[in-house]
Amino acid sequence: MKPIDLTSVEHLLEGHIDIRRRPGSIQPLRYPAAEHEYYDVFTRWVASAPAGVRLRLRTDSDILELKVRQRVAALDGTARNAVWKVFVDGDSYGFGEVTGGAQLLADGSLKGDEHATVRIELPHRDNEVEIWLPQTATVSIDSVAIADGAHWAPWPDRRKRVVFHGSSITHCMEADSAAGAWSAVAARLADVNPLNLGWAGSCILSGLAARIIRDQPADAIVLKLGINVHGEGLLKERTFLDSAHSMLSIIREKHASTPIAVVSPIWSPPREDVGGQGGPSLRRMRELLEDVVAKRRKTGDARVRYLSGLELFGPADHADLPDDLHPNTAGYRRMGERFHKLMLSGSENLLVAA
């Protein structure tokens, strides 16, 4: 096997914000490495999980072998699936075969050896290869190797770029792979380049997240807001409105005319009419976010739009909401198909004038 130097591997990655560099390894992050200390431990972990991060290259190699350090979430004692999804020439091709890796337990300890090998067999021809890293684990890459005598070249994603930010329902740990996230499904149907900034449990309408989005190149921005401030009533109605407006204002500092879609919470029956510790219910959050968008449009921002989360996932979809909060793979796929139809196609396409 012939290794690709790590400096080159960095340039094969898409869908990340930054790279943490250690001797002999690189780790894609979905937050700025220099701001590591600004985030709480949980947010650092979910924003380190490479949801939507892809390794893309052209190669005639019939084999790819990655040496990685993988820590799979097992916070409840049961490890989630950590799937390396592979596309070849734009089509679903299969999965990487993973040997090794550790489980990350609730107390922060590891069960097993984090070192793992990912082996991917490819057709015997020139291929455009896209490998989706698992959204349920943190991953550091120690090496990427191709067959002896084979060649490789970068395959950068130059399509229009859509930035998605949200909660666990955008992170999509319950999907069968990172490519099964609703943002990824919608992006594939629209043939655009997605950046998934879904942070499970950590979409709290924060200025830190707003700054990251502000500083990213984007042809459109999707903000799916609300659910993570519900459970503990983190934001009351007054601060919810202020935070939503502040997030939009920060983003607009560098995206003055970029189309923005504000998406309210999807359906969650226990939370529809009950707020957490004095905060607004999901029904009320939808009203508040719709009002935020209406006020901004009234003051001249014609490129911000509102979409009710119920149009993506509502009461009729309950069979695909096993825990009354997170959709399953089928539910996420349906959300992506609906978002594509409503926001990334036809006359309503966010990208038409972008």
Residues 20, 82, single domain; the answer is yes
- Cα–Cα distance for residue pair 169/165, rounded to 1 Å: 10
pLDDT (0 to 100) of residue 231: 86
Q: 291 phi and psi, to 5 degrees?
A: -70, -40
Q: Do the domain assignments include residue 202?
A: yes
Question: Is residue 190, in this structure, part of any structural domain at all?
Answer: yes
DSSP letter string over 22-72? ETTEEEEESS-GGGGGGS-HHHHHHHHS-TT-EEEEEE--SEEEEEEEEEE
Boundary (domain end) residue, out of 98, 130, 154: 154
Same domain, 69 and 166: no
Instruction: Report the amino acid identity of residue 325.
Output: L
Residue 216 sits in a domain of what CATH number?
Answer: 3.40.50.1110
* pLDDT for residue 354: 54
Domain shared by 143 and 174, yes or no: no
The domain total for the chain is 2
Tally Cβ neighbours within 10 Å of residue 271. 20
CA distance 332 to 329: 5
Same domain, 224 and 296: yes
Domain end call among 90, 122, 154: 154
305, β-bridge pairs: 261
The verdict on 136 and 283 lying in the same domain is no
For residue 221, which amino acid is it?
I
How confident is the prediction along the chain (354 residues), in pLDDT tens digits per residue? 999 999 999 999 999 999 999 999 999 999 999 999 999 999 999 999 999 999 999 999 999 999 999 999 998 778 899 999 999 999 999 999 999 999 999 888 999 999 999 999 999 999 999 999 999 999 999 999 999 999 999 999 999 999 999 999 999 999 999 999 999 999 999 999 999 999 999 999 999 999 999 999 999 999 999 999 998 899 999 999 999 999 999 999 999 999 999 999 999 999 999 998 999 999 999 999 999 999 999 999 999 999 999 999 999 999 999 999 999 999 999 999 999 999 999 988 999 865
Kindly state whether residues 141 and 259 are assigned to the same domain: no
In a domain, 353, yes or no: no
- 111 and 248 in a common domain: no
The phi and psi torsions of 41 (rounded to 5 degrees) equal -60, -45
Burial 226-250 (b: 16+ CB within 10 A, else e): bbbbbeeebbeeeebbebbeebbeb
What pLDDT, on the 0 to 100 scale, is given for residue 130?
98
In this prediction, residue 352 carries a pLDDT of 86
Give the model's pLDDT for residue 79: 85
Residue 199 lies in a domain: yes
Taking the CA atoms of residue 150, residue 153, residue 154 and residue 155 in that order, the dihedral angle to the nearest 10 degrees is: -90
18 in any annotated domain: yes
pLDDT at 76: 79
Whether 175 and 114 map to the same domain: the answer is no
**CB neighbours (10 Å) of residue 67?**
18
Q: Which domain holds residue 10?
A: 2-154
Give the pLDDT score at 353: 60
Domain boundary, last residue among 154, 185, 212: 154
Distance, CA of 225 to CA of 209 (rounded, Å):
12
Q: Do residues 262 and 169 share a domain? A: yes
- Asked whether the beta carbons of 200 and 171 are under 8 A apart, the reply is yes
77 and 193 share a domain? no
Whole-number pLDDT of residue 263: 98
For residue 283, give the H/E element and its range.
helix 282-298
Q: Are residues 119 and 54 in the same domain?
A: yes
Closest CA to 88 of 147, 136, 132, 118: 132
How far is it, in rounded angstroms, from Cα 82 to Cα 248? Answer: 34
Which CATH number is 50's domain given? 2.60.120.260
Other CB atoms within 10 A of residue 268 CB:
18
d(CA 297, CA 301): 5
Same domain, 134 and 96: yes
Within a domain: 354: no
